[in-house]
Structure 1
Amino acid sequence: MTAQKNALVVGASRGLGLGLVETFLQRGWRVTATQRSASPGLAALSSDALTVETADIDDDHAVTGLHDRLAGQSFDLIFVVAGVATQAHEPLHRVPREVAAQVYLTNAVSPVRFAETFLDRLAPNGLVAFMSSILGSVALNESGGWETYRASKAALNTLVRSFEIRHREAGFGVLVLHPGWVRTEMGGADADIDVATSVTGMVEVIEGRFGRTGTAYLDYTGKTLDW
């Protein structure tokens, strides 16, 4: 009998994070989901297999407190989903410096800092996953736009590769995932796919990566993307 897997999904109050939690539960996982503030969506998923915690990844004190509350737990997957797209449609020179800096901190710095804090909660041969975007690919940027968001995700990709190299001898895998262009509040109504299609694909990709080390930059179908 296969042991039940345990996931920590960080940033799960709505959209893709919420959809991931629902999909993992449907596939028999235990899930600890974080929210920055009370989430009606998570509350509606009430399950014996679901634990909901509150923490803001930009707040080091809150992350440390979460780490302490989860003492003794071990996660097969730590998936940092949280991210922002503040003034994403504005070109760099029109975005206030403090806004651009906050997008960078939330999308690139905080996810890796969170992963560092929680590495001692990762099960042997586990996976650490980060929600990135195809917009983080420098090689594939042929249309411009979304400048501060693109830059933050490119920075995330770079920092994640360094994170994996730094911990390579530990033997865990690292995933950088593009969810597709999804009909969420961030993606908009004209996006290509719905949340269910995206999260089902990502969960299947994740389940297929256990036991593999190194860093992979993949989309929700399992396609490798150019850095």
Structure 2
Amino acid sequence: MTEIRKTALVIGASRTLGLGLAAEYLRRGWDVIGTVRGGRRTGLHDLADASAGRLTVETLEMTDPQQIAALGERLAPRSLDLLFVNAAITRGDLPIGEVPTGMFTEVMVTNALGPMRVVEVLGPLVAPAGTIGVMSSDQGSITLNTDGGQDLYRASKSALNQLMRCYAARHATGTRTLLLMDPGWVRTELGGPDADLSVEESIPGVAETIEQHRGKPGLHFVDHQGQVVPW
């Protein structure tokens, strides 16, 4: 009997954490669909070329609702075992009173509204026993914020967490696993060169934590080591 491979859709997979997650699921024997913003070749394209057809690259600008809807229509015949949304930007460490309105809007749309639009539109493609995950951060934890700083980024991740909680409440009788994932402090453009972890150190733990929570309905806020992150 031919084994049916599982399918993961990784939103925002052109580089660093998203690209690492796509590669990790290929290593685990899954089929992977990864999205990139249009207009240029990325590491995901190189990974697809070496994947023997197991990785498909789709184009998506996550801040554009029409593009999200179009992707949903293209993928409608598919059944996903995992939808994972990876997106985050920061625009510097400014006190909130100094943040321009345009910057505030850009970060909130990219880090909170865009990911939730993806979850709302593409979530129904996930199998009833599947998983919907969103890349969050411990900087979105109100409990852990004892030092301040990064006001806008923290606020955007807290907003994302709250919106996922709203989504979970509206789907309280659902059977899908819902995850807010803290990957740890990772050496990316966002995390900076002094961060504790490389992508290669973070991502296998992210994937393993996702696997450990498979079949556990409801919303979980956890890190790459499987530990619960306080709200």
Identify the TM-score tier after normalising by the shorter chain. Answer: over 0.9
Q: How does 1:65-214 map to 2 (within 5 A)?
A: 65-87=70-92, 89-214=93-218
Q: 1:41 is matched with which residue: 38, 43, 52?
A: 43
Write the deviation string for residues 63-96 of structure 1: whole angstroms up to 9, x where unpaired. Answer: 1111111120011110010121123x11112221
Write the deviation string for residues 109-148 of structure 1: whole angstroms up to 9, x where unpaired. Answer: 1111111101221112111001000000000001100100
Q: Contact 1:136/1:151 (CA < 8 Å) preserved in 2?
A: yes
Aligned residues: 226
Write the deviation string for residues 37-68 of structure 1: whole angstroms up to 9, x where unpaired. Answer: 33420111022110000011110111111111
Q: Once structures 1 and 2 are overlaid, which stretch shifts more, 115-124 or 52-61? A: 115-124
Q: Contact 1:178/1:220 (CA < 8 Å) preserved in 2?
A: yes
Tell me by how many angstroms 1:5 deviates.
1.3
* Matched position secondary structure for 1:86: coil
Alpha-carbon distance between aligned partners in 2 of 1:226 and 1:170, rounded to the nearest angstrom: 23
Structure 1 segments (4+ residues) deviating >6 Å: none
Q: Once structures 1 and 2 are overlaid, which stretch shifts more, 101-110 or 171-180? A: 101-110
Which letter maps to 1:211? Answer: G
* Matched position secondary structure for 2:144: coil
Gaps of 5+ in 1: none
Task: Pick closer, same or farther for the CA change 1:140–1:2 going to 2, 3 Å.
Answer: farther
Q: Contact 2:174/2:217 (CA < 8 Å) preserved in 1?
A: no
Which letter maps to 1:29? Answer: W
Gaps of 5+ in 2: none
| TM-score, normalised relative to structure 2 | 0.95
Q: Contact 1:22/1:45 (CA < 8 Å) preserved in 2?
A: yes
Q: Percent identity?
A: 43
Aligned to 2:26: 25
Alpha-carbon distance between aligned partners in 1 of 2:41 and 2:169, rounded to the nearest angstrom: 35
Q: Contact 1:12/1:82 (CA < 8 Å) preserved in 2?
A: no
Which letter maps to 2:193? Answer: A
Alpha-carbon distance between aligned partners in 2 of 1:15 and 1:119, rounded to the nearest angstrom: 24
Tell me by how many angstroms 1:207 deviates.
1.0
Which letter maps to 2:77? Answer: G
Tell me by how many angstroms 1:24 deviates.
0.6
Say what the alpha-carbon RMSD is for the aligned residues.
1.2
Tell me by how many angstroms 1:2 deviates.
6.0
* Matched position secondary structure for 2:33: strand
Q: Contact 1:14/1:39 (CA < 8 Å) preserved in 2?
A: no
